[in-house]
Structures are given as C-alpha cells and as structure tokens.
Amino acid sequence: MPATFHDELRRIVGPAHVLTGIECGPYVIEGRTPEAVVAPGSKEDVAAVLVAAGEASVPVTPWGGGTTMAVGSPPSRLGLVLLLGRLNRLVEHEPGDLTATVEGGMTVQALQEALGRRGQWLSLDPPHAAKATIGGTLSANVAGPRRHLYGGCRDLLIGLTVVTADGAIVKGGGKVVKNVAGYDLPKLFIGAFGTLGVIVEATLKLRPRPDADRVVVARFERLKDAGVAARTVMASDLLPSALDLIDGEAVRALGLGGADGAALLVGVDGMADQVDWQCREIERLLEPVGLREARVLDGAERDRLWHARGTVGREAFAETAATMRWVLLPSQVADCMEQGAAVAQRAGLRAATAAHAGVGIVEAALGGGEHADLERVAAVLSEWRALVRGAGGHAVIQWAPLAVKERVPVWDEAGPALRIMERIKAQLDPRGVLNPGRAAGGI
C-alpha cells in the first residue's frame, strides 16, 4: 500500500479518521491485520474512498458493527477496512407511512430506540443489536426469532443506496412500500457480504409496537416431542411471532435447565387479549404431545431469554469449537437436530442446536473440550453438511478457527446459478475490489 494512498485517505476523511499500523489491531480478521482503516463521514466520502482504493488497487472490506466478520471465507488480502460507524443517523421516520430511512452504520438498537419512542419498531431482531448495524445486518442477511411471522431482510427492505466499486452512488427501490419500477436491486445486496457495493442508506418497512409481547417456554422430555409440538403449532390457527426449537445442550446454555429434554419457545405478540388467548391455546394444544411444563415470560425475563437465544451458538460451550448454520425444510428440522447430535456424539464431541423451526434455520454449535481437535471438528462439520444436504438443505460454517476453515469449505456448493452471480459481480465490481473471495462461490 503506497504512502501516497494514506495521504489521499487523510485528505478525504480527515487525519483523525484514518488508522494505520498498530491502531488497526481491533480490525483484525482471521488473523490478518488490515493495511489501513478509514471511517468516512458521508456517502460522498465513501465514494471518494472507493475511487482512491480502486486507483491504488487496494481491496476494501466494509465493516459495520463487526458482529459477522467471522462469517465467510477469509479475505484473500485484507487491504482497507471501511468503517461505516459514522454514518449512523436516522434520516427520516414518518410514523404514518410505517417506513424509516436510516444510514447504513446506525446500530439496530439505536434505530429501535428511536422508533420505539414513536410507538413503532423494525420487526428484525438480529443478535448483538447494540453493535450490529443496519448495513451489516442486511449484508449478512441476519434475522432473529420473529422472522417466523414478520419475515426477514428481503421482506422488510424497500429501498437502498449503495456505493459501488467505481464510486457511483446508486439507489434502488424507493421509500414507498410498494414499488415495481425497475429491477429490485436492493434484493441483490442482502446477503452479499459487501461484495457488490457498500450500503450507505436503507429504507425499511416498520410495524406498530404490539400492546403485549410474551414468550411461552414449553419444556419436553425429548427433542422428538418438542419437534412434534412445533409442527402442531404450525398446523394450527395460532399466529405466533416466533417458534424456536431448542435441544437439551442449548436449553442448558440458555439457563433454562439441565441438558436433558428440549424446549419450544413460542413468541406471541399483539393485542393483550389475543396474546392471553394464544398463551392459553398453546398450552392446550401441546398438552397431548408431551408438554412437561410451560412458563410464560414477559418484560425483562423475556428480553433476557431472547438475548441469550441470539448468542447461543458461539456461547453454547465454555470452548465452542465451531458453529454452523443449516437451512432446511421445516419438516426436517427436528430430525436433523437429533441426527446431528448423534454425529457429534460418535466423534466424542457435543452438539448444541437451536432452530427457527418454522423458517427452517438451525444454528448448530460443536463443543467438547480437549477432544475437540481439528480433525474431529472438521470431520463432524463435513458429516453435518452431508446430513443437511441429504435432507435437501445446505449448511454454512458460521464461525470456526481458520485451520478448520482450511479443511472444510465455509460455503456449501453454489451450483449452476454461480455463473449469473459471477457475471453480476463482474458488472458491478469489475476489478474485484470489494471484499474479494468472501462470499459464496468464492466471489
């Protein structure tokens, strides 16, 4: 990285917003230290930084709250880390329109607090909300338990402004909830891990805050029973906002009890009398399928549980060896969780799994202390992937030491659609400046 490039960065964003050398320590990714870190204060400055980086042939890694930096393949070269934290304003919130426009670097929690003061919320509940930014949440396509009823990023994002690799400020979608003018470019940047452009502004659909919001913690002897319970709820008239299936190890990690049995966390929100009715109805429906105990949590207890649920993957064990995300059909979730645990056990390790059962997404964590050597961890992850693929899904490593990632591919096979993805990447970032090698298919 030429010294003149550092000078150019300082000229664009001001010397206080460029970090070099030892100051880059907090932004190490997979053991690699960036050559520089820059924090622009406006989308125009983001554009100028990308132009300068392009001219100097320095790859750029956008960085929001840093909560998903471990996801994906390690960067082939860590050049410039582009911090979005200064782009943290709520640009526009018109409650009557149920929409908000927000800068990419605003944290989810700060946004929720601002919206909450006016009786609304963004129905996305990603983990680490205090750190996770809107841009990062979209880029990594993160959601939480409430995706069950309210949908994920692609259902809530209606407009996006990105800066592309050539420094162009490009907008797609708009500020209205219904819009079919032109291509739906915002969809392209969801889950793209910053490989197509830097998200500087997003417009999102909002919801009114519910009058009541609770979670029913339903305990079962066996995971199998809890799985049947999840399917019973799905096939009923109930409209829960969350339906999370939790195995024994994850129950223990959540502080809900010992590592035997399993739990179903059923979120219900809305008008108070409806919430009351749903809580009663859940117990009535689950009684015949082996419900052992049901507790209804509200207020701080509820918040604590959902918070812990968000981070249960990495924090499942004192020394979690790796975490993986399985995407499955809802009907396969409980079976795969059971079989996955058996795979880990055969290798002398332990698994903790927690699922958004109705959406079909499982977080699987692997632990096992001194038995968790590289080879065993890699072997279990590979077996898990085969298991998930066999059930018609796919599996992605969420977090693992670099040495494990070198043995097991982070991403599942991309398939023939990769050809189109590569061509889109070539159109929007022809020199491959943005986060090269990070996303699925090595894009």
Partner 1 sequence: MSSLDPGRKAGLRRELEGLLGKGAVLSDPEELLVYESDGLTLFQALADFVVFPTSVEQVSAVVRLANRESLPFVARGAGTGLSGGCLPAEGGLVISLMRMNRVLEVDYENQLAVVEPGLVNLHLSWAVGPKGFYYAPDPSSQQACTIGGNIANNSGGPHTLKYGVTVNHVLGLEVVLPDGEIIWLGGRTRESQGYDLTGLFVGSEGTFGIATKIIVRILRRPQAVKTVLAVFDAVEAASESVSAVIGRGLVPAAMEMIDQLTIQAVEDAFGCGYPRDAAAALLIELDGLREGMEAQAERVMAACRENGAREVRAARDETERQLLWKGRKSAFGAYGRISPAYMVMDGVIPRTRLPEVLRRVNEIVGAHELRVGNVFHAGDGNLHPNILYDPRRPGEVARVVTAGGEILKVCADVGGSISGEHGIGLEKMDYMPLIFTEADLHAMRGVRDAWNPRGLCNPGKIFPSRKACGEASIAYRPHPIEAQGLAQRF
Kindly identify the residues of this chain, within the stretch 147-166, that bind partner 1 according to CB under 8 A: 151-152, 154-155, 164
Among 128, 214, 231, 309, binds partner 1 (CB under 8 A): 231
- For residue 157, the minimal CB distance to partner 1 (Å) is 10
Neighbours of 404 (CB within 10 A): 20
Instruction: Write down the residue that tokens 């419900």 correspond to.
Output: 291
Binding to partner 1 in span 71-130, by CB under 8 A: 94-99, 119
Among 216, 266, 352, 361, binds partner 1 (CB under 8 A): 361
Among 17, 32, 89, 277, binds partner 1 (CB under 8 A): 277
Neighbours of 427 (CB within 10 A): 10
Binding to partner 1 in span 179-198, by CB under 8 A: 179-185, 187-188, 190-192, 196
Tell me: does residue 436 bind partner 1 (CB under 8 A). no
Strands 36-38 and 80-83: parallel
CB 194 within 8 A of CB 238: no
Q: Angle at the Cα of 204 (from 180 to 233), degrees rounded to 5?
A: 95
Compare residues 22 and 420 and give the one whose CB is closer to partner 1. 420
Tell me: does residue 315 bind partner 1 (CB under 8 A). no
* Cβ neighbours of residue 52 closer than 8 Å, sequence gap 6 or more: 5, 8, 9, 12
Compare residues 11 and 280 and give the one whose CB is closer to partner 1. 280
Compare residues 251 and 439 and give the one whose CB is closer to partner 1. 439
CA distances for 132 relative to 67, 68, 219, angstroms: 6, 8, 31
Compare residues 288 and 392 and give the one whose CB is closer to partner 1. 392
Contact stretch for partner 1 (CB under 8 A) within 3-11, 203-211, 251-259, 340-348: 203-211
Contact stretch for partner 1 (CB under 8 A) within 17-25, 70-78, 285-293, 421-429: 421-429
Closest CA to 88 of 68, 66, 69, 110: 110
Tell me: does residue 172 bind partner 1 (CB under 8 A). yes
Binding to partner 1 in span 373-402, by CB under 8 A: 392-394, 396
DSSP code of residue 422: H
Tell me: does residue 300 bind partner 1 (CB under 8 A). no
CB 283 within 8 A of CB 216: yes
Among 239, 259, 342, 402, binds partner 1 (CB under 8 A): 239
* Helix, coil or strand: residue 106: coil
DSSP code of residue 16: G
- Any bridge partners for residue 63, and if so which? 83
Compare residues 170 and 379 and give the one whose CB is closer to partner 1. 170
Q: Which helix (H) or strand (E) holds 195?
A: none
Tell me: does residue 328 bind partner 1 (CB under 8 A). yes
Contact stretch for partner 1 (CB under 8 A) within 78-86, 207-215, 258-266, 372-380: 207-215
DSSP code of residue 372: -
